[in-house]
Amino acid sequence: MSTKPPIIIVSGKSPLSGFGGGYSTFARNLGKTLTILGFPVYIIALGDTEARKKTDFGTIVTVNTSLLSFNVTALPGLPWFSYKFALAIRTIMAQYPSVKPILWGIGPWGLAASFLKIFFRDRIVHINSYFTTTKHEWSRSLKALSIQDYGLLVHVKFFVIYHTIVRLLTLLERVVLLTSDTIVTNYQSTERILMQQFHIPKNKFIRTPFPIEAYIRSNKKVPRVAPVHLPKQYILYLSRHDPRKGVNILLHAARILIDRGGMIPLLIGGTGELYLAHQRLSNKLGLDRWVTFMGFIPDATQLMGHATIFCLPTFEEGAGALIINEAMSYKLPIVTTSCDGIVEDIKNETSGLLVPMGNPQALARALERLIHSPSLRQKLSRNAYAQYKHTNNQIKIKEDIYRVLQKSGAI
């Protein structure tokens, strides 16, 4: 058995699941780095059964949550899920009685670590990575929900959740942040959000590069759309279908470009709660000839590798956007918004084009510029890739993770 302490990452969603998004991707990449550094790594996640699976980025420990549907109760079920996670963590801790375990929470899923920190105090180390807050995410989601595009019922649903469940989660997030020995961020924007909302002292933060590595996902529960023949040129959107991602803004921008006679095909990948609503909006705007909804994409290599332009008209990220960093790694010219940490990755007119949030006219103008200017596309993609290579330095990432562990008193 390793003489190094175990590092138990609490990610909520499993890196082996197609539903994971940023948290599970971060858990996978963090686990891989820690494994290379010689630590025994465990990743605690939700699942349909109690199981363990060894991978090259740690042992995935799934906790049975069949009594509650995760997709329905992810937010209100956080205390119950965290209690179940804490029990699973105790089992792992029992395997290492002579060392101080390191619990590494991701976002509010660190609540399980907080439960144990309250009882075990100095006998465990609690590190927590944070990207945004529930309040920040949902307030921007409400702002993005156009009643004209989505209808009153959807808006009312999100309004009620924001003023009930989100308030409860904000209290729980405060517990997570207060019990953490160290809060790890990847962007200055996240630190500003946390300091403004929770008055966290600046010396509690430590900032590291965002570890990025795209990988093939599996999701048997989501039907896949039949493969399509890729057009010679196309705009690509690849992310969730939720209010804060601004898909409706992109669809309105597409309508503007069509009316100007300057549109190229738009491929929209990803799934989410508003997937069908976006299909209906596309139909309503008369975009069927130009827009293809591709559903769940397990492997985006081909889509990203051949795209002409990548577009993410997001309203909220808190930190940067993982998918923006992936687009940079594919040397794609990017159009996105001047939102949160995105401006720390993308410099307007240098490594991408930034437009105001919620402005389809500005988005259409930026896309039109890139469609008609191969030289501008080349310049932006070249600079974006250079920025990505500078940030995603594996040696520096390993050094910074060691720095986090030292600051937290873990090693």
Percent of the chain with pLDDT over 90: 75
Domains of the chain, CATH where assigned:
7-211+393-407 (3.40.50.2000), 235-391 (3.40.50.2000)
**Size (the chain), residues:** 411
What are the pLDDT digits (tens) for 228-275?
689 999 999 999 999 999 999 999 999 999 999 999 999 999 999 999
Read off the pLDDT band of 14 (50, 70, 90). Answer: confident
- 278 contact partners, CB below 8 Å, separation of at least 6: 241, 247, 248, 251, 268, 293
**For residue 282, how far is the Cα from the chain centroid?**
25
Residue 305 amino acid letter: G
- For residue 409, name the pLDDT band (cuts at 50, 70, 90): confident
Cα 7 to the chain's mean position, in Å?
21
Sheet strands side by side (includes 205-207): 51-55, 58-64, 41-47, 7-12, 102-106, 125-129, 182-185, 205-207
pLDDT number for residue 104: 97
Residue 191 pLDDT grade (very low, low, confident, very high; cuts 50, 70, 90): very high
Phi, psi of 240 (to 5 degrees): -70, 160
Percent above pLDDT 70 for the chain: 91
* Rounded average pLDDT over 393-400: 85
- Mean pLDDT lowest among 76-85, 137-146, 286-295, 341-350: 76-85
Q: Could you tell me if 43 and 11 are in contact, meaning their C-beta atoms sit under 8 angstroms apart?
A: yes
- Which pLDDT value is given to residue 73? 47
When pLDDT is averaged across residues 129-146 and rounded to a whole number, the result is 95
In this prediction the pTM is 0.91
Check residue 77 and give its pLDDT: 85
Token pair listed for 240:
């969730």
Indicate if the pLDDT at residue 209 is higher than 60: yes
- Quickly count: other Cβ atoms within 10 Å of residue 275's Cβ: 18
**pLDDT digits over 92-113, tens only?**
999 999 899 999 999 999 999 9
Average pLDDT for 400-409: 86
What mean pLDDT is predicted for residues 301-320?
95
**What is d(CA 235, CA 291) in angstroms, rounded to the nearest whole number?**
10
CA separation for the pair 69, 285 (Å, rounded):
35
Token pair of 45, please?
A: 């996640």
- The per-residue pLDDT for 229 is 83
